[in-house]
Chains A and B, each alone.
Chain A
Amino acid sequence: MPSVRRSRLVGRALWGIYLGALVAGLWLIFLLLFAHSFFEGVTLEFPPRGLTLENYFQISSAFFPALRVSLVLGLCAGLLNVLLAIPAAYVLSRFEFPGKDFINTVLVAPNMVPAVSLALGLLALYAWLGAIDTFWGLVSALGIITMPYMLRPVLSAFNEMDPSLEEAARTLGAGRWRVFLMVTLPLIGPGVLAGLLLSFIIGFNEFTVIIFLYGPKNLPASVWLWNMLFMYGITPQFAAAVAIMQLVSFAVLFVLVGVIGRRYLQGAVF
């Protein structure tokens, strides 16, 4: 059967080439952004005249406050989601009640709404509440669009957990809160952390909803980058600022995949 073996080898090689090219293409997009941040010169050209770290020192000082705003917004949106998602996910995984399917659908609905439409609706709401360019306004907007990414891993963590462990603790005399803190929370911990990190990555990089609602007092880095591009075009300093954003996102993604595992990423997209 040498021909069978050969055709199997050819098949394997073809898969390798196709998927290798796909992976390389996806990574190239982002390696290119990194690479350009080290290029010497005033304008970006390829191949570069030389390599330098100077671009990082020449990033406009206005970038770093914007970066801080993005970090804090992403984190706060994640924490808000933790507080809202844990009780909701607990009920959804443990109880049967009428309307449960409907609520399940509603909770993933932010993914079904175009970001631009939601942003315009929020603009109307915030204009009425006077919440444009407020910190809590932006946190709430980020919270709603990242909520599904928090709920899915938390729900799957609750579903995987054996409820009899809680009942055992109750039988042994532990109170409701004690059971939650000592038994439930450690068991669903990885799911909660996965949801928190996913929410953070998305909130940290979110651009569409923010650009409708931001203002000079709360200017996140993603919008700052767009403003720079709009005014000055692509420069090496711009590439360096993008590279910093990418480094933060990749570090979090690395923790997510490396430490918590891919288990909670399975259902991350629908």
Chain B
Amino acid sequence: MVDGAERSITRRRSAWPSVALPLAPALLFYLVFLVYPIVVLGLYSLQERGGGIGLGNYLQFFRNVGLRRTLTNTLTIAAAATLLDLILGYPVAYYLARRRTWLADLVQVSLLIPLYGGLYVAFAFMLMLLPNGFLNSVLTFFHVVEKPLSLLYTYPTLIAAFGVYGLPFMVYPLRAAIQSIDPAVEEAARTLGASGWQVLRRILLPMSSVGVVGGVLLNFGWNVAIFSIPLVLSFKGAPFLSIDIYFSTRYGIRWSYAATLSAVLFLITFGLSYLYLVLVKPTRTVRAEGE
């Protein structure tokens, strides 16, 4: 038995074409439709107006007041939505990590709803918040407000829509981190008289800090890159990076400009996701192997 297993392993190691050939189509596909487009973007962004090659476009990007405002605004909205998701998502992640009830199942499936369509999240927020829409009708019916609120093109709405769309990217890393905490630690603290708040402050949050970092990295990287929600819900005075990129392609593209904006966006999201893989993912797999 052992002999046979060993022989099959050595056979597999030596036969490199049997590894390379099945991987080749997928990797070629990635090379053409993922790596090449990103490399081209990078090259376009390095092409300076005078014809030289350098970081001139990036310097211009950070010197331009309008673009700096767009970047600040994008980062602020994304950060606010990440904070919202951290506060909303932590209890959800805790529940999913600890309980196996029908409610946990329902929550898990419900979290998937917004995932495939930022466009629909935006449509729904529009329907909900129109002056004669659902929310205002309910509020005026119960005399909470006398006049309809104009909530549609405001920061809170934009942030809430982002929050709904990105929630799974916060909950899943958090859940994995909380799952790795032995429930006995919590129980011991409780038996020794710790309150719920103390358990959260002293035990859960410190022990799940990897998950918090991971959730924040993933969620923020995702939020910065969202396109469809700000396309529908953003308003004058709330410029967004991805929207700028889209409109710069509409009427005659200035490639170096559009590519520089895209490259900045790429560096933020890719950098944070990569940081997530390096910092958070390995501990998770090591733990899984230890179990």
Contacts and interface: CB of A to CB of B under 8 A. Distances in A.
A111 B7 CA distance: 38
A246 B120 contact: yes
A106 interface: yes
A1 to B, nearest CB: 13
Interface in A206-263: 207-208, 211-212, 222, 225-226, 229, 234, 239, 242, 245-246, 249, 253, 257, 262
B273 A201 contact: no
B172 A19 contact: no
B120 A117 contact: no
Given A23-B107, A105-B277, A270-B173, A229 B123 contact: yes
Contacts of A23: 106-107, 110
A234 B125 CA distance: 12
Given A88-B23, A95-B19, A36 B127 contact: yes
Contacts of A165: none
Contacts of A202: 116
A110 to B, nearest CB: 6
A253 B110 CA distance: 11
B95 interface: yes
A13 interface: no
Interface stretch (A43-51, A56-64, A182-190): A43-51
B132 interface: yes
Given A32-B128, A46-B132, A120-B259, A114 B123 contact: no
B227 A242 contact: no
Contact of A226 (B91, B127, B172, B231): B231
Given A19-B103, A144-B34, A29 B121 contact: yes
A167 B12 CA distance: 13
Given A95-B19, A143-B33, A249 B117 contact: yes
A18 B91 contact: yes
B116 A107 contact: no
Contacts of B108: 262, 265
A130 interface: no
Nearest to A85: B26
Contacts of B37: 118, 120-122, 124-125
B44 A124 contact: yes
Nearest to A267: B172
Given A112-B273, A270-B173, A94 B119 contact: no
B130 A44 contact: yes
B246 interface: yes
B127 A121 contact: no
Contact of A22 (B19, B107, B124): B107
B269 interface: yes
B225 A270 contact: no
Contacts of A245: 120
A91 interface: yes
A225 B128 contact: no
Report which residue of A117, A202, A269 has the largest number of chain B beta carbons within 10 angstroms of its beta carbon: A117
B110 A26 contact: yes
B245 A143 contact: no
A262 B277 contact: no
A83 B25 contact: yes
Interface stretch (B46-54, B58-66, B200-208, B260-268): B260-268
A156 interface: no
A97 interface: yes
Interface string A23-49: 101111110110010000000111100
A208 B227 contact: yes
A212 B242 CA distance: 12
Contact of A30 (B16, B21, B91, B113): B113
Contact of B23 (A18, A91, A110, A249): A91
A115 interface: yes
Given A88-B22, A207-B228, A19 B107 contact: yes
Contact of A117 (B22, B38, B114, B124): B38
Contact of B246 (A88, A116, A124): A116
A121 B30 contact: no
A140 B34 contact: no
A125 B169 contact: no
Interface in A99-142: 103, 105-107, 109-118, 120-125, 140-141
6 contacts: A15-B95, A112-B277, A120-B258, A140-B29, A147-B30, A212-B249
Interface of B: 8, 12-13, 16, 18-19, 21-23, 25-27, 29-30, 32-34, 36-41, 44, 88, 91-92, 95, 103, 105-121, 123-128, 130, 132-134, 136-137, 164, 168-169, 172-173, 218, 221, 224-225, 227-228, 231-232, 242, 245-246, 249, 253, 255, 258-259, 262-263, 265-266, 269-270, 273-274, 276-277
- Cβ-closest 4 pairs across A and B: A121-B37, A87-B22, A114-B225, A112-B273
